[in-house]
Amino acid sequence: MTPSSPTAARVTVADHPLILHKLSLMRDVRTGVKEFRELAGELSLLLAYEAMRDLGTEPERLSTPLETADFPTLSGKKLALVAILRAGLVMTEAMVKLIPAAKVGHIGLYRDPETLKPVAYYSKLPQDIAERRVFVTDPMLATGGSAAAAIQTLKDAGAQSIKLVCILSVPEGIAVVQAAHPDVEIVTAAIDTGLNDHGYIVPGLGDAGDRIYGTK
């Protein structure tokens, strides 16, 4: 893990070799839908491991077959995983295997191809979102419009503790999210060079939703 730099105080780049290798496979244009989807799920688990590093634990008295002693178990607020549709879905579906008791929310947004602004079409969140630690997922943080809007939707619903977990990001998107939501930590596998004229991350991996679902 690369510690946060002073200019990007709340960004964690989870650059473990396994993460970087899987990300390179996702970038490869030859990688087909099945493998891309599997890699996105595997990477999400590894990113969740990093994003959830600061979850609290408390001792619980348990008996092994040999002895009774105090052992750490998760404590503190319960968790919510919130997917930004479509592409974030593959991430929450993987992460919920790690945290089966987590509640799962969905925020539907698509990026208008002309304006690059997010268009909201759906929102269904756990009723007790205010009491939960929220991990919002989207593979791509490009202009940052979608993530910033989704985080605003979560805050409007009462969420107070939010982390953004994304596979790929760029400085532009990070800056937009940090400006709008300086309280939200971002966990990402890599920060790419920037955006092209169509708002795509370069070198990037293409359109995440299309590559996950085979729609192009």
Interface positions with ligand PRP (CB under 6 A): 84-87, 109-111, 116, 118, 138-147, 173, 199, 207-209
Q: Exactly one of 111, 132, 133, 211 is catalytic; which is it?
A: 111
Give which of 90, 208, 107 is closest to 162, Cα–Cα: 107
13 bridge partner residues: 2, 188
Q: Which helix (H) or strand (E) holds 173?
A: helix 171-180
Q: What, of ligand URA, ligand PRP, none, does residue 200 touch, CB below 5 to 8 Å by kind? A: ligand URA
Give which of 46, 151, 159 is closest to 97, Cα–Cα: 46
Report the residue number, 35 or 131, with the smaller CB distance to ligand URA: 35
d(CA 71, CA 62): 7
Count CB-CB contacts under 10 A for residue 22.
19
Q: Exactly one of 10, 15, 27, 210 is catalytic; which is it?
A: 210
**Encoded tokens for 210:** 């299309």
Q: What, of ligand PRP, ligand URA, none, does residue 204 touch, CB below 5 to 8 Å by kind? A: ligand URA
Q: What, of ligand PRP, ligand URA, none, does residue 133 touch, CB below 5 to 8 Å by kind? A: none
Question: What stretches of the chain adopt beta strand conformation (E)?
Answer: 11-13, 56-63, 68-75, 78-85, 103-111, 118-124, 132-137, 140-141, 161-169, 185-191, 194-195, 201-202
210 flagged as catalytic: yes
Q: Is 201 in the site for ligand URA (CB under 6 A)?
A: yes
CB of 30 to ligand PRP, least distance (A): 21
Q: Is 173 in the site for ligand URA (CB under 6 A)?
A: no
Site for ligand URA in 102-161 (CB under 6 A): 140, 142
d(CA 174, CA 205): 18
Q: Which stretch binds ligand URA (CB under 6 A): 9-17, 28-36, 66-74, 205-213?
A: 205-213
d(CA 27, CA 203): 8
115 flagged as catalytic: yes
Q: What, of ligand URA, ligand PRP, none, does residue 201 touch, CB below 5 to 8 Å by kind? A: ligand URA
Q: Exactly one of 2, 73, 115, 193 is catalytic; which is it?
A: 115
Write out the catalytic residue numbers.
111, 115, 207, 210
List interacting residues with ligand URA (CB under 6 A): 140, 142, 200-201, 204, 207-209
